[in-house]
Structure 1
Amino acid sequence: MLKIKLLGHRCSVIWGGDGTNGGSLQLQPVAASLLAYLVLQRERPQPRDVVAAAFWGEMPTAEARRRLNTALWRLRRVIEPAYVPRGTYLLVEPSGALSFNCRSDACVDVARFETAVTPILGRATTSAADAERLAGAVGLYAGDLLEDVDDNWVILERERLRELHICALARLVTWHRAAGEPDAALRFGQAILDRDPLREDVHRAMIEMHAEVGRRAQALRQYEICRRILSEELGVDPLPETTAAARIAAGTYTAAVPGNDHAARLIDHLTRAEDELRSLADVLKRAVDELRALAAGTTGEVLKVSGDAVEMSRR
């Protein structure tokens, strides 16, 4: 049985034999990348020209095909040696299209991760069994997909799997927090921040969870970490709700509100808006009164309204 690991620094292939044949298989970089490509497209046979263009698109078609055939031969020689039947892991369609045999006995970390996570994230609610399965799945995520490969075909898949991993962690944070297990929730929250430290919503949730169990110092430390990262990376301050969560944790929220600069500016804006509305109401009242007088024929004056000014002139 092959054990293929794509999550992490590089493609790793281990032959899970009986001890005699067991051990890590040595693949040349191009052959390893080709295997990873076919594994990621395991449900979709790829035409040879498409595969060749993905790896050697800048070369003439004939040269790209030649290099693909060489890489395929080298890959097959390692994972399908003489004692392994042809087609056990690599399939060639009558049309020449290539694919990885997803019905083989190969154990692929990406496939196991996706199979466990995707159905659960598609459901609105999470059960205890779901949470346990998610925890096992995120444990498979040893790192982003093929971190040492920067080819275009890797980048999109890397970002997709990375987002899937973060969504799984976020679901675990929510479940453990609701279950009254803050330590587990905090652990998964920190795992999110390790990969995406700009997630202010996660910082805020962790501040709140520390406060809920009486860990004021940890809550304030988490707020300071959040404030520093946002300032250094984005040049912004935390959102008011994040600051409020920290003040609640510190027990100073009520006392701090009157002196809050943001609140003071908001009050000033609203006060000015109120004065302007009152002024406009006076103008409108005078205009209505004059229009009524004109309608009754009791004045020989013409009313002109311009902006917030009212002028009267004789006919």
Structure 2
Amino acid sequence: MDVRLLGEVEVYSAGRPLDVGTPQQQVVLAVLVVNARRPVAMEALVDRVWGYDPPADPRPALYAHLSRIRGLLRQTTAPDGGAAGRVERRQAGYVLEIDPELVDLHRFRRLVEQDDDRPGDDEARATALAEALDLWRGEPLAGLPGEWAAQVRASWHQRRLDALVRWAQAEFRLGRPSAVISAVPDLTTEYPLAEPLECVLIRSLHAAGRGAEALDRYGVVRRRLAEELGTGPGEELRTLYRTVLAGDRPPPGPPPVTHHRPDPAPTTDGASVIRASVVASVGAPPRTGDTIRRRALLATLAAVVLPVATTSAYALRRDGCDREHGDGPPAVSVERAWELFATAEAFDQEGKAHEARAAVVAAVWVSEELIELAPDRTAPALAPAVLRTLGRAGVDFGISRSALLGRLGDPVRTPYPAISQAILLRGWRFTAPVFLDAVVRNYERTPGPTSPRNLADVHTDTLKAAVLESTRTRHGTRITEFDQLLAPRTP
């Protein structure tokens, strides 16, 4: 069996392609495959397939998709003669039981992690990264609709870009600049604003005695950054340019970097986030009416720093720490989340509602990942930014600020972080008074749903009813429909 997500969604058994169904069914399959061996709640499946506009009762359609996926998996064969994969219903949700080695995405992750397990061995590093990069067949999840697919697609593009840069740097350190010169120019057409990729290409051209081409390449990159982002090259690229201009020996380039090391401190003006967002998505096919910059912001701000958070998770596992009991990710990941919240506020002030919402979504996904890794350390650090963002969404509070921050910083014992994330992720902006403490109280009083401790456990319908009831009980409003509470979205 071979499951492929790094391109069109495909499933092969004994070399034979199987019918993966409609685009919606492929989204359900992709969600289960991405989360292989981990439960996915029904609510999360609904969000992934329909986003913020699900049908009145999506369950029958989901059950039908799951039934067809089970039928698809029964056509696969494992070495023991049984099916190579199966979907199980558990208390926490649906789980796809499958060997991750049968999935190209998970093989890609393993090979990239394997690169970090060989410090100082550039030959093994280059081989592992080349094998990982060869798994890419085109645009990931090609043709699948929806915001989840766009976010995941952008996140994988960023991971691919990181792997490309590290492969090229390893080849350069091995004294093989010709390999870089041969492969990287085609890749820079997919990622035309990726400065680290351009750095290793310019360094390789210089090492090969092609200084004029290296200088010309720098000029192309400088113009492109100015036109697309309104900024100039970074310090590393400028230093390299001066070296090439002076005719000095090419610098050796950066040493191998593993994911145990924190990234450099982010800038405070949000420019690095925007630049990384554009880099991660410029390879995506354009949609009608979209400019590259607008498409990049909307499609990728929501996922641009997910690789930082998930890479931290990998580092914890390699150190023998469990996701739920590790010491937590590097502090820079929390700083990246803060930077996204600040970027959203800057977009708000500029009246760019779409971009602001995309940045908030990005910050929420990163926050969820960080809180899952180390709740005691990350949730309190993120609480002030969450509270400030809630305020811009029209959410107030009836308890003291210090008490509220304490509850937002305690995802283990309170539902405040999960419910706050759900409100922000859905992009709601309220025109009538909505108090967070009243919403939480109403949600917990609702028969049926348990008090949520993570985003996947928050039921949208229950949350809407809790918000609506909070405006009635506290302020006596006559609003009867949830949508009447919301400010109209900018087209």
Q: TM-score, normalised by structure 1?
A: 0.66
| Structure 1 residue runs without a partner (length 5+) | 254-315
| Equivalent residue number for residue 161 of structure 1 | 156
**Is the contact made by 2:202 and 2:214 (CA closer than 8 Å) also made in structure 1?**
yes
Q: Could you tell me which amino acid in structure 1 is paired with residue 155 of structure 2?
A: R
Specify the SS of the correspondent of 1:74: helix
**Is the contact made by 1:227 and 1:237 (CA closer than 8 Å) also made in structure 2?**
yes
- Classify 1:91/1:79 alpha carbon distance in 2 versus 1 (closer, same or farther; 3 Å): closer
| Equivalent residue number for residue 258 of structure 1 | none
Match for residue 99 of structure 2 among 91, 103, 106: 103
Residues 6-55 of structure 1, C-alpha deviations (whole Å, 9 max, x = no match): 112x31222325xxxx3343522222221111000113122334323432
**Is the contact made by 2:122 and 2:171 (CA closer than 8 Å) also made in structure 1?**
no
Match for residue 12 of structure 1 among 6, 10, 13: 10
Separation of aligned partners in 1, 2:236 and 2:84: 56
Separation of aligned partners in 1, 2:124 and 2:107: 17
Specify the SS of the correspondent of 2:11: strand
| Equivalent residue number for residue 21 of structure 2 | 27
Specify the SS of the correspondent of 2:98: coil
Match for residue 229 of structure 2 among 213, 230, 234: 234
The answer to whether the aligner puts 1:211 opposite 2:224 as a matched pair is: no
**Is the contact made by 1:134 and 1:168 (CA closer than 8 Å) also made in structure 2?**
yes
**Is the contact made by 1:87 and 1:101 (CA closer than 8 Å) also made in structure 2?**
no
The answer to whether the aligner puts 1:46 opposite 2:45 as a matched pair is: no
Matches within 5 A, 1:1-315: 1=1, 3-8=2-7, 10-16=8-14, 22-56=16-50, 58-59=53-54, 63-81=57-75, 88-95=84-91, 97-103=93-99, 107-121=102-116, 124-187=119-182, 189-190=184-185, 193-238=188-233, 242=237, 245-246=240-241, 248-250=243-245
Q: Could you tell me which amino acid in structure 1 is paired with residue 10 of structure 2?
A: S
Offset of 1:211 from its aligned partner?
Answer: 1.7
**Is the contact made by 1:116 and 1:137 (CA closer than 8 Å) also made in structure 2?**
yes
**Is the contact made by 2:23 and 2:144 (CA closer than 8 Å) also made in structure 1?**
no
Specify the SS of the correspondent of 2:150: helix
Separation of aligned partners in 1, 2:244 and 2:76: 66
Q: Which has the higher contact order (CA 8 A, sep 6+)?
A: 1
Separation of aligned partners in 1, 2:77 and 2:240: 64
- Classify 1:191/1:124 alpha carbon distance in 2 versus 1 (closer, same or farther; 3 Å): farther
Separation of aligned partners in 2, 1:56 and 1:222: 44
Separation of aligned partners in 2, 1:125 and 1:252: 29
| Equivalent residue number for residue 279 of structure 1 | none
- Classify 1:103/1:204 alpha carbon distance in 2 versus 1 (closer, same or farther; 3 Å): closer
**Is the contact made by 1:170 and 1:192 (CA closer than 8 Å) also made in structure 2?**
no
Offset of 1:102 from its aligned partner?
Answer: 1.8
| Equivalent residue number for residue 337 of structure 2 | none
Separation of aligned partners in 2, 1:177 and 1:151: 39
Offset of 1:237 from its aligned partner?
Answer: 4.0
Residues 197-234 of structure 1, C-alpha deviations (whole Å, 9 max, x = no match): 11234323322321222112321231232122123212
**Is the contact made by 1:170 and 1:188 (CA closer than 8 Å) also made in structure 2?**
no
| Structure 2 residue runs without a partner (length 5+) | 249-491
Separation of aligned partners in 2, 1:200 and 1:78: 43
- Classify 1:182/1:81 alpha carbon distance in 2 versus 1 (closer, same or farther; 3 Å): closer
**Is the contact made by 2:225 and 2:232 (CA closer than 8 Å) also made in structure 1?**
yes
Separation of aligned partners in 2, 1:240 and 1:51: 43
- Classify 1:200/1:115 alpha carbon distance in 2 versus 1 (closer, same or farther; 3 Å): closer
Separation of aligned partners in 1, 2:247 and 2:123: 37
| Equivalent residue number for residue 275 of structure 1 | none
- Classify 1:250/1:39 alpha carbon distance in 2 versus 1 (closer, same or farther; 3 Å): same
- Classify 1:139/1:151 alpha carbon distance in 2 versus 1 (closer, same or farther; 3 Å): same
Q: TM-score, normalised by structure 2?
A: 0.44
Q: Could you tell me which amino acid in structure 2 is paired with residue 100 of structure 1?
A: L
> Greater share of strand residues, 1 or 2?
1
Q: Could you tell me which amino acid in structure 2 is paired with residue 198 of structure 1?
A: L
Q: Could you tell me which amino acid in structure 1 is paired with residue 125 of structure 2?
A: D
How many residue pairs get aligned? The number is: 245
- Classify 1:32/1:236 alpha carbon distance in 2 versus 1 (closer, same or farther; 3 Å): closer
Residues 134-159 of structure 1, C-alpha deviations (whole Å, 9 max, x = no match): 11111112234214334233334323
Offset of 1:245 from its aligned partner?
Answer: 3.9
**Is the contact made by 1:4 and 1:13 (CA closer than 8 Å) also made in structure 2?**
yes
RMSD over equivalenced CA pairs, Å: 3.2
Q: Could you tell me which amino acid in structure 1 is paired with residue 38 of structure 2?
A: R
Residues 231-266 of structure 1, C-alpha deviations (whole Å, 9 max, x = no match): 32123444576456445535579xxxxxxxxxxxxx
Q: Report percent identity of matched pairs.
A: 26
